[in-house]
Amino acid sequence: MARVIAVCNQKGGVGKTTTAMNLAAYLAIYGRRVLLIDFDPQFNATSGLGVTYAPDETIYHALLGGQAHERVIKRTYLANLELTPASPDLAGALVELVNLPEREWYLHRFVKKVGDWYDFVLIDLGPSLNLLTVNGLLAADEVLIPVQCEYYSLEGLSQLLESIELIKNNLGHEIRSVSALITMYDKREKLSREIAREVRRRFPYKVYEAEIPRSVSLAEAPSYKKPIMLYAPQSPGAIAYEALAQEILGMVEERVMGTHPPMRPVEKKLASMQKEASRIVESAMQEEAARADFEAPPFELPLDAPYPFDILR
């Protein structure tokens, strides 16, 4: 059965969708079979990965429209990464679910049916605490909370933790792990450093060592319908999300202990591509240096040449 991780925070603009997309991409690159479920009516993860789908092939139609689960799971750029798209129709589910029995468990049933096909299922939840959020939390075994390095992010964190406790106590669903991820971190800013320090000191659960920086590349990548690894693989944001994926996979501890598993074929291919890219860059730099060392003959202006300003006329 897959590890099911809900990426959740009721505050908007903290990097939930960015985290869900890029974490899923790096987990896929490391050879894991990953399903990303876009469970946000704004469907940013769907548009950010450039997935094409029919109007009736979304998570809404799988939950409430009787659509076959196989038809709402779509391929992406990466071989191991698949996506269940969302659409604005998902906002209507808030009204339709109200009067249905066991309304909180619809997404849980969907994940249970498809979970055996994957190693990881990531759920991108919207910026709210509503019935869709409850469905997402009940479908998950773990909760990942992106925390932006700003004061208002800390205010909503306690409310979200209370909601998770209510779900544990009242709905009988055990969430095995709750963790926080610091996002939009700028080490040059005093406020960012203070917020990060307070989160690590006061958050009652795990806080990942990886810190996601403010990055123009992370903001630009969705407009090109790509995760950061395909848009700017050497950017600080890409390096940070790769470190997060390694933490989740336990690779940091394995490397320290000297028990890091052998590279999978997809990892070998990525390493080979990076090596070839480095070779091309080094060759280009050598050619540029050779051109710089070439001494061109000095230029002499003929005596009868017109004055430069005359040429402009």
What are the tens digits of pLDDT across the range 104-135?
999 999 999 998 999 999 999 999 889 999 99
Confidence of residue 312 (pLDDT cuts 50, 70, 90): very low
Whole-number average pLDDT of the chain: 84
Q: pLDDT tens digit string along 259-284? A: 444 444 444 555 555 555 556 556 66
Using the 8-state DSSP alphabet, how is residue 306 labeled? P
Domain 3-256 - what CATH class?
Answer: alpha beta
Tell me the Ramachandran region of residue 2: left when phi exceeds 0, alpha when psi lies from -120 to 50, beta otherwise: beta
Confidence of residue 309 (pLDDT cuts 50, 70, 90): very low
Regarding pTM above 0.85, the answer is: no
User: What are the tokens at 176?
Assistant: 């095995």
Note the maximum CA span of the chain: 95
Q: In what order do the strands lie in the sheet with 120-125?
A: 74-75, 81-84, 34-39, 120-125, 3-7, 142-148, 177-185, 206-213
Mean pLDDT on 232-240: 95
